Amino acid sequence: MASMFTKRLTKELRDLQASPPAGIFVEHAGDDLKCWRITLKGAEGTLYEGEIFTLQFKFGSNYPLESPEVIFVGSVPIHPHIYSNGHICLSILYDQWSPALTISSVCLSIQSMLSSASKKELPPDNNMYVLSAKKSPKATTWAFHDDTV
């Protein structure tokens, strides 16, 4: 009998490959489903139009009850809520996670966060954070105080 983890991720992968949201494509999903790479295109009419980024999703065995680890790999967008090491400050990835969220909805939230930026700039504490950050952003205690970008 397949686990909840396997059933859920298999369904999400099938749905994402069959009808991906605009600008979101599954690049790779490992045989064990524990690590995915998803390509995200900057939306038209935004600061990131034409730019392509890669998100890495790592799933623990408690998914979907527990959020995946999500980071940008390769080219990292310059954005007030994205650190230069690829860590993303977005509440739904941490304390506002819900098992009702899907990989598709997480990607759309990140794409929306990029789309709402009014200028390309790093978080004000980028250098200090990157120097002291753990490998996983899930090991960070995030303070969410600005939802305007």
- Whether 144 maps to a domain, the answer reads no
The total number of structural domains that make up the chain: 1
Beta carbons of 75 and 54 less than 8 angstroms apart: yes
- Whether 147 maps to a domain, the answer reads no
Distance of CA 99 to the CA centre of its chain: 15
**Is 107 one of the catalytic residues?**
no
- The CATH number for 92's domain is 3.10.110.10
Summarize the confidence of residues 93-115 as an average pLDDT.
96
Q: What's the whole-model pTM score?
A: 0.92
Given the residues 43, 55, 88, 89, select the one marked as catalytic. Answer: 89
Tell me which residue range forms the domain holding 134: 4-139
What gap in Å lies between CA 43 and CA 48, rounded to an integer?
7
- Whether 126 maps to a domain, the answer reads yes
Residue 102 has pLDDT above 60, yes or no: yes
- Whether 78 maps to a domain, the answer reads yes
What gap in Å lies between CA 65 and CA 107, rounded to an integer?
18
Q: How high is the pLDDT of residue 144?
A: 66
Q: Note the pLDDT tens digit of each residue in 69-90.
A: 999 999 999 999 999 999 999 9
- Whether 146 maps to a domain, the answer reads no
- Whether 86 maps to a domain, the answer reads yes
Q: How high is the pLDDT of residue 140?
A: 82
Work out the angle between the directed axes of helices 103-115 and 4-18 (0-180°, nearest 10): 50
- Whether 97 maps to a domain, the answer reads yes
